[in-house]
Amino acid sequence: SKCYRVTVLPGDGIGPEIIRVAVDVLRLVGSQEGLDFEFKEMLVGGAAIDAVGSPLPQETLDACRDSDAVLLAAIGGYKWDRNEAHLRPERGLLDLRVGLGVFANLRPATVFSQLVDSSTLKREVADGVDLMVVRELTGGIYFGKPKGFGINEHGERIAFNTEIYSTAEIDRIARVGFETARKRQGKLCSVDKANVLEASQLWRERLTIIGAEEYPDVELSHMYVDNAAMQLIRNPKQFDTIVTNNIFGDILSDEASILTGSIGMLPSASIGQSGPGVFEPVHGSAPDIAGQDKANPLAQVLSVSMLLKYGLGQERAAERVEAAVKTTLDRGFRTGDIMSYGKTLVGCLHMGEEVMRSL
């Protein structure tokens, strides 16, 4: 049987605790489905800064490139918040994305029926929300040049960044958006600010052309980002798949996540044209509860499911993991972040054991 090489990046905070659970789950489902895994654990983020002085050591990037998929937990923490830009954990994440060319970030925002009451939205608004944000991840204002600091003609200091997209960059993320929508409900909403930004005008033009030429079966709509930020709250169920640029995707995918009320349950996948993808929870490294066995490992476990599905094309194993998470919720187990009346409060490790029992 094929042996998949998975690079494991525990990172910071609760990272090591939750990723341990996820690796165990991956091993177990592998044994059930006849898939072999070889794990290689590497440093990233604050842990890597402390150990070797760089948020993404070259050996880590090499190991990732050399593998079939990257399982990442979370990075960052107060400890490194005052570091200079190039010595901050986030830099490691940005460099990893570019280093692996993972230009498409897939972020599902799904309301688990068992947890609908933890949303701050009314039950009837939240119940049944199931959308996917496809965010461009290696372009736009995050990486555009020129950027930096200077002095203007009045002698004042200035700082600037460049929002920039080429047709090639737009076209490839557009196709991921359309393909994703096609596998879902067939509705793609492209979000931009074409009434103000030239970069958005080219975005809208390309989306429209690619939709008409290559995906006539997908229903394409366009929405301004300010309106999208509203519609997500007014009626999130109107959305199936959203595709948008890097910065708007950063904002809207977080907004969509919190609507579900259980951000501790949400995974993400970052994928490129070929080569390994990066699979990680949406939530952060939660340094305040690190090392206390309190973290919710389910977003990390669901990242394993995305790894199997989008990274390795192992749909059946992926579904098995997803089903096990749902069964575990049905069986009443909850970590503190999703706890509610009448349920069984468990820690991170115990939750992991219950998922494996459900498997």
Burial class for 2, CB neighbours closer than 10 Å (0-12, 13-18, 19+): exposed
Could you say which of its own copies, ligand IPM, none residue 198 binds, taking C-beta under 5 to 8 angstroms by partner kind? its own copies
Return the residue of 42, 44, 93, 121 that touches ligand IPM, per CB under 6 A. Answer: 93
Could you say which of its own copies, ligand IPM, none residue 52 binds, taking C-beta under 5 to 8 angstroms by partner kind? none
Stretch that binds ligand IPM, among 89-97, 169-177, 334-342, 344-352 (CB under 6 A): 89-97
3 lies in the binding site for ligand IPM (CB under 6 A)? no
Of 110, 109, 80, 60, the C-alpha closest to 278 is 60
Q: Assess contact for 57 and 49: CB atoms under 8 A.
A: no
Contacts (CB under 6 A) with ligand IPM, residues 208-237: 226
Q: Are strands 344-345 and 69-74 parallel, antiparallel or unpaired?
A: unpaired
90 lies in the binding site for ligand IPM (CB under 6 A)? yes
Q: What is the Cα–Cα distance from 138 to 264, expressed in whole angstroms?
A: 25
Q: How many residues bind its own copies (CB under 8 A)?
A: 59
Whichever of 196 and 212 has its CB closer to ligand IPM, that residue is 196
Q: Assess contact for 241 and 187: CB atoms under 8 A.
A: yes
Q: Which of 12, 24, 193, 337 is the catalytic position? A: 193
226 catalytically annotated = yes
Binding mask 89-128 for its own copies (x = CB under 8 A): -x---x-------------------------xxx--x---
Return the residue of 32, 195, 235, 292 that touches ligand IPM, per CB under 6 A. Answer: 195
Whichever of 125 and 251 has its CB closer to ligand IPM, that residue is 251
- Residue 120 CB, nearest approach to ligand IPM (Å): 21
- Residue 195 CB, nearest approach to ligand IPM (Å): 5
Q: What is the Cα–Cα distance from 258 to 247, expressed in whole angstroms?
A: 17
Q: Residue 38: how many CA atoms within 13 Å on its side-chain side?
A: 10
What angle in degrees, to the nearest 10, is found between the helix axes of 348-358 and 15-33?
10
Return the residue of 28, 87, 98, 164 that touches its own copies, per CB under 8 A. Answer: 164
Q: What is the Cα–Cα distance from 290 to 15, expressed in whole angstroms?
A: 8
Q: Assess contact for 46 and 79: CB atoms under 8 A.
A: yes
Contacts 24+ apart (CB under 8 A), 77-86: 77/12, 77/13, 77/46, 77/285, 77/287, 77/290, 78/287, 79/46, 79/287, 80/46, 80/49, 83/49
- Residue 194 CB, nearest approach to its own copies (Å): 9
199 lies in the binding site for its own copies (CB under 8 A)? yes
Whichever of 77 and 261 has its CB closer to ligand IPM, that residue is 77
Of 270, 306, 307, 281, the C-alpha closest to 105 is 270
- Residue 88 CB, nearest approach to its own copies (Å): 7
Contacts (CB under 8 A) with its own copies, residues 204-263: 225-227, 229-230, 233-235, 247-248, 250-255, 257-259, 263
Q: What is the Cα–Cα distance from 174 to 348, expressed in whole angstroms?
A: 38
Whichever of 211 and 311 has its CB closer to ligand IPM, that residue is 311
- Look up residue 112 and give its two tokens: 């688990």
Q: Assess contact for 126 and 144: CB atoms under 8 A.
A: no
Residue type, 185: Q
**Which residue has its beta carbon closest to ligand IPM?**
90
Q: Which residues bind ligand IPM (CB under 6 A)?
A: 90, 93-94, 195-196, 226, 250
Q: Which residues bind its own copies (CB under 8 A)?
A: 85, 88, 90, 94, 120-122, 125, 141-142, 144, 147-149, 152, 154, 156-168, 193, 195-203, 225-227, 229-230, 233-235, 247-248, 250-255, 257-259, 263
Residues marked active site are found at 142, 193, 226, 250, 254
